[in-house]
Structure 1
């Protein structure tokens, strides 16, 4: 892979190729990780993007609130796949932009280990946006959580198929993985699936592309 540093004057999405599948290697609970995630979802103006968001650990409302703080305008289309038992705490207050956006577009999967069901749900989301003229971006948050419910071989096979689907649909997608929460073999195995690896190391981002 070709390695290059990230300049603070440029957005991360300027450093990666459009329509790539990106592995985001960074701590799960880190402000820089959240900023990078939103940056990699913001290739175009919000009105010109379809956003597909898979979340195991955060509520859709929280994700939309962070998005609005980042770009101050909801995406053209958004679909959340809320996996497991993530609560919709923010929705209880009602009336917020985050709640209104998320309420319109949440598909819930109660079993976090049901990769067949997850794959079907993601494929259906892509189909509904096929040919609508807008860029599709995706966030998978996170592989760290997924590995708690499925073994490495199963996850590898699932990602091999999913990244192929994203490539075929011209999706720019990034997948979160906390390298401190898994062993080096797991990191190396999953890295081999991706076009680009974006890694936080000593507070600096590095971008490695094939």
Structure 2
């Protein structure tokens, strides 16, 4: 896969720096920004698996830490959704001004609690063209769901019973274009053989369906 940029980066946000990895394939017209779950990071093996698949489908990807290592030591910060939302918004604004990413469309991929941050962030960033949630916790952003106006795909494992219930409730509250995909036999982390491949394919198809035509 040819890339025009693939490197570790440092994102300045409100006086701190967040570590990340940006990959932009040569023919990419959009970049998917990942919002990881609590206790995870830019190094999440499952998010990286999805990112690699998206790169092969000509989507750029940005994986970054929502918290500094010091902040992550405070367990409370991992569930401070408003803080994580603000970090996601600021990182996205930074990305749009980064030379290699200018004039590219932006999508979001959120996992677990990171999906709640992404759902809240798109309210401040209405130009985000699509959002995918993997095993998301939309219950942590429930009051904001009716104002989400971005095509949203909720992916949940059939064996992740509590989170599936949260996502069924969220689906009813969303007023945007939406879809709920239940992956049969998958638990919360989609660790079962072949399940992350299904997630990757569903996500890529959703983004591909909604990405703006660069020539339009």
For the superposition of Structure 1 and Structure 2, which TM-score range results when normalised by the shorter chain?
A: 0.3 to 0.5
TM-score, scaled relative to structure 1: 0.45
